[in-house]
Copies of this chain bind each other. A is one copy, B any other.
Amino acid sequence: MSIHEYIETLCTDTKKASPSMARKSEIQKNAILCDIADAIEKNEAEIIEANILDLEAADKNGVPKTMLDRLKLTPERIKGIADAVREIVALPDPIGKGEVYTNRDGLVIKKVRAPLGVVAIIFEARPNVTYDAAALCIKSGNAVILRGGKEAINSNRCAVEIMQSVLIKHGVDKNAVSLVDDITREGTTELMQMRGYVDVIIPRGGKGLIQSVVQNSKIPCIETGAGNCHLYVEADADTEMAVSVALNAKCSRPSVCNAIETLLVHRDVAEKFLPMLESAMKEKGVELRACPDSAKYLKEFTPATNEDFETEYNDFILAVKTVSDIDEAIAHINSYGTGHSEAIITSSLTLSQKFQTEVDAAAVYVNASTRFTDGGVFGLGAEIGISTQKLHARGPMGLVEMTTTKYLINGNGQIR
Protein backbone atom coordinates (compact mmCIF):
# COMPACT_ATOMS: atom_id res chain seq x y z
CA MET A 1 0.00 0.00 0.00
CA SER A 2 1.40 3.43 -0.92
CA ILE A 3 1.59 6.21 1.66
CA HIS A 4 -1.21 7.95 -0.21
CA GLU A 5 -3.45 4.88 0.01
CA TYR A 6 -2.53 4.35 3.67
CA ILE A 7 -3.46 7.91 4.67
CA GLU A 8 -6.62 7.87 2.58
CA THR A 9 -7.75 4.63 4.21
CA LEU A 10 -6.92 5.95 7.67
CA CYS A 11 -8.88 9.17 7.07
CA THR A 12 -11.84 7.30 5.55
CA ASP A 13 -11.97 4.98 8.57
CA THR A 14 -11.76 7.87 11.02
CA LYS A 15 -14.48 9.81 9.23
CA LYS A 16 -16.66 6.71 9.27
CA ALA A 17 -16.06 6.36 13.01
CA SER A 18 -16.80 10.00 13.82
CA PRO A 19 -20.64 9.73 14.13
CA SER A 20 -20.27 7.02 16.78
CA MET A 21 -18.21 9.49 18.84
CA ALA A 22 -20.41 12.51 18.05
CA ARG A 23 -23.55 10.75 19.29
CA LYS A 24 -22.25 10.05 22.81
CA SER A 25 -23.85 12.02 25.63
CA GLU A 26 -21.86 13.99 28.22
CA ILE A 27 -22.28 11.18 30.75
CA GLN A 28 -21.08 8.57 28.26
CA LYS A 29 -18.07 10.67 27.21
CA ASN A 30 -17.11 11.21 30.86
CA ALA A 31 -17.32 7.47 31.50
CA ILE A 32 -14.98 6.86 28.57
CA LEU A 33 -12.50 9.43 29.87
CA CYS A 34 -12.57 8.00 33.42
CA ASP A 35 -11.88 4.55 32.00
CA ILE A 36 -9.02 5.91 29.89
CA ALA A 37 -7.47 7.53 32.97
CA ASP A 38 -7.75 4.25 34.88
CA ALA A 39 -6.36 2.26 31.92
CA ILE A 40 -3.36 4.60 31.71
CA GLU A 41 -2.51 3.88 35.35
CA LYS A 42 -3.21 0.17 35.01
CA ASN A 43 -0.95 -0.15 31.96
CA GLU A 44 1.98 1.77 33.47
CA ALA A 45 4.45 -1.07 32.88
CA GLU A 46 3.44 -1.46 29.24
CA ILE A 47 3.64 2.31 28.67
CA ILE A 48 7.12 2.52 30.17
CA GLU A 49 8.29 -0.49 28.17
CA ALA A 50 7.22 1.15 24.90
CA ASN A 51 8.72 4.44 26.01
CA ILE A 52 12.09 2.79 26.71
CA LEU A 53 12.20 1.57 23.08
CA ASP A 54 11.75 5.19 21.98
CA LEU A 55 14.33 6.53 24.43
CA GLU A 56 16.94 3.96 23.38
CA ALA A 57 16.44 4.66 19.69
CA ALA A 58 16.50 8.42 20.29
CA ASP A 59 19.67 8.18 22.34
CA LYS A 60 21.31 6.09 19.59
CA ASN A 61 20.26 8.70 17.00
CA GLY A 62 21.83 11.52 19.01
CA VAL A 63 18.55 13.28 19.89
CA PRO A 64 19.33 16.33 22.09
CA LYS A 65 18.90 16.02 25.88
CA THR A 66 16.05 18.55 26.16
CA MET A 67 14.06 16.50 23.65
CA LEU A 68 14.89 13.26 25.44
CA ASP A 69 13.52 14.79 28.62
CA ARG A 70 10.22 15.67 26.93
CA LEU A 71 10.02 12.19 25.42
CA LYS A 72 10.61 10.39 28.71
CA LEU A 73 7.74 8.92 30.73
CA THR A 74 8.12 8.08 34.43
CA PRO A 75 5.53 6.58 36.81
CA GLU A 76 5.02 10.08 38.18
CA ARG A 77 4.48 11.55 34.72
CA ILE A 78 2.09 8.74 33.80
CA LYS A 79 0.07 9.53 36.94
CA GLY A 80 0.10 13.18 35.81
CA ILE A 81 -1.25 12.20 32.37
CA ALA A 82 -4.09 10.19 33.93
CA ASP A 83 -4.94 13.09 36.25
CA ALA A 84 -4.98 15.52 33.31
CA VAL A 85 -7.54 13.26 31.58
CA ARG A 86 -9.65 13.30 34.78
CA GLU A 87 -9.53 17.11 34.79
CA ILE A 88 -11.13 17.09 31.32
CA VAL A 89 -14.00 15.00 32.76
CA ALA A 90 -14.79 17.94 35.06
CA LEU A 91 -15.09 20.46 32.20
CA PRO A 92 -18.59 21.25 30.93
CA ASP A 93 -19.57 19.64 27.62
CA PRO A 94 -20.22 22.35 24.99
CA ILE A 95 -22.15 20.07 22.59
CA GLY A 96 -25.85 20.86 22.15
CA LYS A 97 -25.64 24.18 24.01
CA GLY A 98 -26.74 27.31 22.21
CA GLU A 99 -29.59 29.68 21.54
CA VAL A 100 -33.16 29.23 20.41
CA TYR A 101 -35.79 31.59 19.12
CA THR A 102 -39.18 31.36 17.47
CA ASN A 103 -39.79 33.64 14.51
CA ARG A 104 -43.06 35.34 13.69
CA ASP A 105 -44.10 32.50 11.44
CA GLY A 106 -43.82 29.96 14.28
CA LEU A 107 -40.56 28.51 13.01
CA VAL A 108 -38.37 27.40 15.93
CA ILE A 109 -34.72 28.17 15.09
CA LYS A 110 -32.01 26.66 17.30
CA LYS A 111 -28.30 27.37 16.91
CA VAL A 112 -26.41 24.71 18.83
CA ARG A 113 -22.80 23.59 19.27
CA ALA A 114 -21.88 20.45 17.33
CA PRO A 115 -18.61 18.50 17.00
CA LEU A 116 -16.30 19.56 14.17
CA GLY A 117 -16.16 15.94 13.01
CA VAL A 118 -12.60 14.79 12.37
CA VAL A 119 -9.69 16.76 13.87
CA ALA A 120 -6.09 16.08 12.83
CA ILE A 121 -3.35 17.10 15.25
CA ILE A 122 0.30 17.17 14.26
CA PHE A 123 2.68 17.46 17.20
CA GLU A 124 6.18 16.77 18.44
CA ALA A 125 7.62 13.84 20.35
CA ARG A 126 5.76 14.47 23.62
CA PRO A 127 3.74 11.39 24.60
CA ASN A 128 1.65 13.33 27.13
CA VAL A 129 0.19 15.37 24.23
CA THR A 130 -1.06 12.14 22.61
CA TYR A 131 -3.35 11.43 25.56
CA ASP A 132 -4.24 15.06 26.22
CA ALA A 133 -5.21 15.87 22.61
CA ALA A 134 -7.25 12.67 22.27
CA ALA A 135 -9.08 13.32 25.56
CA LEU A 136 -10.04 16.87 24.50
CA CYS A 137 -11.33 15.54 21.18
CA ILE A 138 -13.35 12.82 22.90
CA LYS A 139 -14.94 15.29 25.32
CA SER A 140 -15.91 17.58 22.43
CA GLY A 141 -17.39 14.65 20.45
CA ASN A 142 -14.73 14.67 17.73
CA ALA A 143 -12.85 11.83 16.12
CA VAL A 144 -9.11 12.52 16.02
CA ILE A 145 -6.16 11.63 13.83
CA LEU A 146 -2.91 11.90 15.80
CA ARG A 147 0.42 12.40 14.07
CA GLY A 148 3.11 12.69 16.76
CA GLY A 149 6.87 13.17 16.42
CA LYS A 150 8.59 10.11 14.96
CA GLU A 151 10.82 9.68 18.06
CA ALA A 152 7.71 8.79 20.10
CA ILE A 153 6.24 6.22 17.71
CA ASN A 154 6.32 3.29 20.17
CA SER A 155 4.87 5.38 23.01
CA ASN A 156 2.13 6.65 20.69
CA ARG A 157 1.24 3.18 19.42
CA CYS A 158 0.87 2.05 23.02
CA ALA A 159 -1.21 5.14 23.93
CA VAL A 160 -3.63 4.71 21.03
CA GLU A 161 -3.98 0.99 21.72
CA ILE A 162 -4.94 1.69 25.34
CA MET A 163 -7.47 4.37 24.34
CA GLN A 164 -8.96 2.28 21.53
CA SER A 165 -9.61 -0.66 23.83
CA VAL A 166 -11.63 1.67 26.09
CA LEU A 167 -13.57 3.01 23.09
CA ILE A 168 -14.49 -0.54 22.01
CA LYS A 169 -15.74 -1.31 25.53
CA HIS A 170 -18.07 1.70 25.28
CA GLY A 171 -19.42 0.83 21.83
CA VAL A 172 -17.47 3.51 19.98
CA ASP A 173 -15.78 2.61 16.68
CA LYS A 174 -12.12 2.40 17.71
CA ASN A 175 -11.00 4.43 14.68
CA ALA A 176 -12.43 7.51 16.40
CA VAL A 177 -8.93 7.77 17.86
CA SER A 178 -6.46 7.04 15.05
CA LEU A 179 -2.70 7.17 14.84
CA VAL A 180 -0.70 7.94 11.71
CA ASP A 181 1.62 4.97 12.15
CA ASP A 182 4.17 6.30 9.71
CA ILE A 183 7.27 8.28 10.46
CA THR A 184 7.95 9.78 7.05
CA ARG A 185 7.31 13.37 6.03
CA GLU A 186 5.17 12.12 3.14
CA GLY A 187 2.62 10.92 5.67
CA THR A 188 2.15 14.47 6.92
CA THR A 189 2.09 15.89 3.41
CA GLU A 190 -0.59 13.42 2.36
CA LEU A 191 -2.59 14.11 5.52
CA MET A 192 -2.73 17.82 4.66
CA GLN A 193 -4.48 17.01 1.35
CA MET A 194 -7.38 15.14 2.94
CA ARG A 195 -10.01 17.86 2.58
CA GLY A 196 -13.43 16.29 2.77
CA TYR A 197 -12.26 13.69 5.29
CA VAL A 198 -10.60 15.91 7.89
CA ASP A 199 -12.48 19.01 9.06
CA VAL A 200 -9.61 20.87 10.72
CA ILE A 201 -5.88 20.39 11.11
CA ILE A 202 -3.99 21.77 14.11
CA PRO A 203 -0.18 21.84 14.07
CA ARG A 204 1.37 22.03 17.55
CA GLY A 205 5.10 22.53 17.62
CA GLY A 206 7.96 24.51 16.15
CA LYS A 207 7.85 27.34 13.63
CA GLY A 208 8.93 25.10 10.72
CA LEU A 209 6.13 22.60 11.26
CA ILE A 210 3.50 25.29 11.69
CA GLN A 211 4.56 27.22 8.59
CA SER A 212 4.66 24.07 6.50
CA VAL A 213 1.08 23.15 7.48
CA VAL A 214 -0.22 26.72 7.14
CA GLN A 215 1.31 27.07 3.67
CA ASN A 216 0.47 23.66 2.27
CA SER A 217 -2.67 22.38 3.92
CA LYS A 218 -5.82 22.07 1.82
CA ILE A 219 -7.72 21.47 5.06
CA PRO A 220 -8.77 24.48 7.16
CA CYS A 221 -5.97 24.95 9.65
CA ILE A 222 -5.46 26.62 13.01
CA GLU A 223 -2.05 28.19 13.57
CA THR A 224 -0.93 27.75 17.17
CA GLY A 225 1.87 28.38 19.55
CA ALA A 226 4.39 30.68 17.86
CA GLY A 227 5.14 33.24 20.56
CA ASN A 228 7.54 36.10 19.89
CA CYS A 229 6.18 38.14 22.82
CA HIS A 230 7.22 41.61 24.04
CA LEU A 231 7.16 43.66 27.22
CA TYR A 232 7.14 47.43 26.70
CA VAL A 233 8.19 49.66 29.60
CA GLU A 234 6.74 53.19 29.25
CA ALA A 235 8.52 56.34 30.49
CA ASP A 236 6.03 56.64 33.38
CA ALA A 237 6.29 52.97 34.44
CA ASP A 238 6.68 51.80 38.02
CA THR A 239 10.21 50.48 37.42
CA GLU A 240 10.11 47.97 40.26
CA MET A 241 6.92 46.50 38.88
CA ALA A 242 8.54 46.47 35.42
CA VAL A 243 11.54 44.49 36.69
CA SER A 244 9.32 42.02 38.53
CA VAL A 245 7.07 41.44 35.50
CA ALA A 246 10.06 41.19 33.13
CA LEU A 247 11.74 38.60 35.35
CA ASN A 248 8.56 36.54 35.57
CA ALA A 249 7.74 36.81 31.88
CA LYS A 250 11.28 35.81 30.83
CA CYS A 251 12.47 33.39 33.49
CA SER A 252 9.58 31.52 35.10
CA ARG A 253 9.51 29.12 32.12
CA PRO A 254 11.55 30.33 29.15
CA SER A 255 10.64 27.36 26.91
CA VAL A 256 6.94 28.21 26.67
CA CYS A 257 5.24 30.34 24.05
CA ASN A 258 3.94 33.02 26.44
CA ALA A 259 7.43 33.93 27.70
CA ILE A 260 8.83 37.24 26.43
CA GLU A 261 11.70 37.39 23.95
CA THR A 262 12.22 41.16 23.58
CA LEU A 263 11.96 44.00 26.09
CA LEU A 264 11.23 47.45 24.69
CA VAL A 265 11.89 50.48 26.89
CA HIS A 266 11.08 54.17 26.45
CA ARG A 267 14.35 56.07 26.09
CA ASP A 268 13.43 58.51 28.90
CA VAL A 269 13.44 55.74 31.51
CA ALA A 270 16.23 53.59 30.01
CA GLU A 271 19.00 55.07 32.16
CA LYS A 272 17.12 54.33 35.38
CA PHE A 273 15.49 51.03 34.37
CA LEU A 274 18.09 49.11 32.38
CA PRO A 275 20.71 48.79 35.17
CA MET A 276 17.95 47.50 37.50
CA LEU A 277 16.89 45.03 34.82
CA GLU A 278 20.47 43.90 34.19
CA SER A 279 21.24 43.08 37.80
CA ALA A 280 17.97 41.16 38.20
CA MET A 281 18.45 39.23 34.94
CA LYS A 282 22.10 38.50 35.76
CA GLU A 283 21.06 36.65 38.90
CA LYS A 284 18.93 34.34 36.73
CA GLY A 285 21.72 33.89 34.17
CA VAL A 286 19.89 35.68 31.34
CA GLU A 287 21.99 36.86 28.40
CA LEU A 288 21.03 40.33 27.13
CA ARG A 289 21.19 41.25 23.42
CA ALA A 290 21.06 45.01 23.27
CA CYS A 291 20.47 47.68 20.64
CA PRO A 292 23.17 50.43 20.59
CA ASP A 293 21.05 52.90 22.60
CA SER A 294 20.25 50.50 25.41
CA ALA A 295 23.82 49.16 25.43
CA LYS A 296 24.93 52.52 26.90
CA TYR A 297 23.29 51.59 30.20
CA LEU A 298 24.41 47.96 30.38
CA LYS A 299 27.67 46.40 31.57
CA GLU A 300 27.51 42.99 29.89
CA PHE A 301 25.66 42.35 26.67
CA THR A 302 25.83 41.06 23.11
CA PRO A 303 24.93 43.56 20.36
CA ALA A 304 21.47 42.76 19.01
CA THR A 305 20.97 42.14 15.30
CA ASN A 306 17.69 42.36 13.43
CA GLU A 307 17.55 38.57 13.58
CA ASP A 308 17.42 38.75 17.37
CA PHE A 309 14.17 40.69 17.20
CA GLU A 310 12.72 37.99 14.95
CA THR A 311 13.76 35.09 17.16
CA GLU A 312 11.69 33.11 19.63
CA TYR A 313 14.65 32.07 21.84
CA ASN A 314 12.71 29.81 24.22
CA ASP A 315 15.83 30.21 26.35
CA PHE A 316 17.51 32.47 28.95
CA ILE A 317 18.18 35.17 26.35
CA LEU A 318 16.43 38.56 26.14
CA ALA A 319 16.68 41.13 23.37
CA VAL A 320 16.54 44.74 24.59
CA LYS A 321 15.68 47.81 22.53
CA THR A 322 14.94 51.44 23.39
CA VAL A 323 12.17 53.30 21.55
CA SER A 324 11.39 56.98 21.39
CA ASP A 325 7.67 56.63 22.10
CA ILE A 326 4.73 54.24 22.38
CA ASP A 327 4.05 54.47 18.63
CA GLU A 328 7.49 53.09 17.87
CA ALA A 329 6.92 50.33 20.42
CA ILE A 330 3.56 49.39 18.89
CA ALA A 331 5.01 49.46 15.37
CA HIS A 332 7.88 47.19 16.45
CA ILE A 333 5.48 44.74 18.10
CA ASN A 334 3.06 44.65 15.16
CA SER A 335 5.98 44.10 12.78
CA TYR A 336 8.02 41.49 14.72
CA GLY A 337 5.40 39.90 16.98
CA THR A 338 3.53 36.69 16.22
CA GLY A 339 0.17 37.95 17.52
CA HIS A 340 0.38 35.92 20.74
CA SER A 341 0.81 37.91 24.01
CA GLU A 342 2.08 41.48 24.45
CA ALA A 343 2.40 43.66 27.56
CA ILE A 344 2.92 47.26 28.62
CA ILE A 345 3.97 48.63 32.01
CA THR A 346 2.53 52.14 32.39
CA SER A 347 0.64 54.31 34.88
CA SER A 348 -1.20 56.20 32.12
CA LEU A 349 -4.79 55.23 31.42
CA THR A 350 -4.65 56.81 27.97
CA LEU A 351 -1.48 54.98 26.94
CA SER A 352 -2.74 51.67 28.32
CA GLN A 353 -5.89 51.97 26.22
CA LYS A 354 -3.93 53.01 23.14
CA PHE A 355 -1.65 49.98 23.55
CA GLN A 356 -4.56 47.55 23.96
CA THR A 357 -6.41 48.98 20.95
CA GLU A 358 -3.51 49.21 18.54
CA VAL A 359 -1.43 46.14 19.34
CA ASP A 360 -2.64 43.31 17.09
CA ALA A 361 -2.39 40.18 19.27
CA ALA A 362 -4.53 37.50 20.89
CA ALA A 363 -3.82 38.80 24.44
CA VAL A 364 -2.72 42.34 25.33
CA TYR A 365 -1.68 43.01 28.94
CA VAL A 366 -1.43 46.16 31.04
CA ASN A 367 0.77 45.87 34.13
CA ALA A 368 0.82 42.07 34.23
CA SER A 369 2.97 39.23 32.97
CA THR A 370 2.39 37.65 29.55
CA ARG A 371 2.73 34.28 31.29
CA PHE A 372 -0.98 34.37 32.16
CA THR A 373 -2.04 33.48 28.59
CA ASP A 374 -3.39 30.03 29.29
CA GLY A 375 -6.69 28.16 28.96
CA GLY A 376 -6.83 27.51 32.70
CA VAL A 377 -6.22 31.15 33.69
CA PHE A 378 -8.70 32.43 31.09
CA GLY A 379 -11.40 30.14 32.42
CA LEU A 380 -11.53 27.60 29.56
CA GLY A 381 -9.98 24.68 31.44
CA ALA A 382 -7.52 22.53 29.49
CA GLU A 383 -6.45 23.83 26.09
CA ILE A 384 -5.55 22.16 22.81
CA GLY A 385 -3.20 25.02 21.93
CA ILE A 386 -3.00 28.80 21.70
CA SER A 387 -4.21 30.16 18.38
CA THR A 388 -2.28 33.07 16.91
CA GLN A 389 -4.67 33.47 13.98
CA LYS A 390 -7.86 35.46 13.87
CA LEU A 391 -10.23 33.01 12.22
CA HIS A 392 -12.33 30.60 14.33
CA ALA A 393 -10.25 30.83 17.51
CA ARG A 394 -7.81 33.41 18.89
CA GLY A 395 -5.81 32.81 22.05
CA PRO A 396 -6.21 29.67 24.18
CA MET A 397 -8.43 27.05 22.50
CA GLY A 398 -10.64 25.15 24.90
CA LEU A 399 -13.48 22.71 24.29
CA VAL A 400 -15.81 25.32 22.74
CA GLU A 401 -13.17 26.08 20.10
CA MET A 402 -13.16 22.36 19.22
CA THR A 403 -16.77 22.65 18.04
CA THR A 404 -18.79 24.25 15.26
CA THR A 405 -22.42 25.33 15.25
CA LYS A 406 -25.44 23.88 13.49
CA TYR A 407 -28.85 25.43 12.87
CA LEU A 408 -31.78 23.13 13.66
CA ILE A 409 -35.10 24.46 12.41
CA ASN A 410 -38.49 22.96 13.23
CA GLY A 411 -41.77 23.93 11.64
CA ASN A 412 -45.17 22.62 10.65
CA GLY A 413 -45.08 23.16 6.91
CA GLN A 414 -43.79 26.75 6.71
CA ILE A 415 -42.80 28.01 3.27
CA ARG A 416 -41.21 31.30 2.25
Contact = CB atoms under 8 A, between A and B. Distances in A.
Nearest to A218: B215
Given A117-B360, A218-B215, A390-B117, A409 B366 contact: yes
Interface residues of A, number: 66
A169 interface: no
A363 B248 contact: no
Contacts of A394: 404-407
A366 B407 contact: no
Contact of A410 (B200, B368, B406, B408): B368
Interface stretch (A126-134, A237-245, A299-307): A237-245
Given A371-B415, A372-B416, A405-B394, A410 B377 contact: no
Given A200-B390, A416-B252, A416-B372, A363 B244 contact: no
Contacts of A364: 406-409
Contacts of A214: 195, 218
A357 interface: yes
A109 interface: yes
A357 to B, nearest CB: 7
Given A195-B215, A241-B413, A368-B409, 9 more contacts: A111-B378, A248-B415, A363-B406, A363-B408, A366-B408, A369-B415, A372-B409, A391-B404, A392-B392
**A interface: dominant SS:** mixed
B200 A391 contact: yes
Interface in A132-162: none
A231 to B, nearest CB: 12
Contacts of A368: 107, 409-415
Contacts of A284: none
Contacts of A395: 111, 405-407
Contacts of A101: 379
Given A379-B101, A416-B372, A366 B411 contact: yes
Interface in A216-262: 218, 220-222, 238, 241, 244-245, 247-249, 252
A389 interface: yes
A6 interface: no
B352 A410 contact: yes
Nearest to A396: B407
A56 interface: no
B117 A371 contact: no
A414 B372 contact: yes
11 contacts: A23-B357, A101-B379, A109-B378, A195-B215, A220-B391, A238-B413, A252-B415, A367-B414, A390-B404, A394-B404, A395-B406
Contact of A367 (B245, B372, B410): B410
Contacts of A218: 214-215
A184 interface: no
Given A390-B404, A406-B362, A416 B200 contact: no
A368 B408 CA distance: 11
A373 interface: yes
A46 interface: no
A114 to B, nearest CB: 8
A67 to B, nearest CB: 25
Interface string A188-218: 0000000100011000000000000011001
5 A-B pairs closest in CB distance:
A368-B411, A248-B415, A390-B404, A392-B392, A363-B407
B372 A107 contact: yes
Most central of A101, A408, A416 by chain B CB within 10 Å? A416
A265 interface: no
Nearest to A365: B409
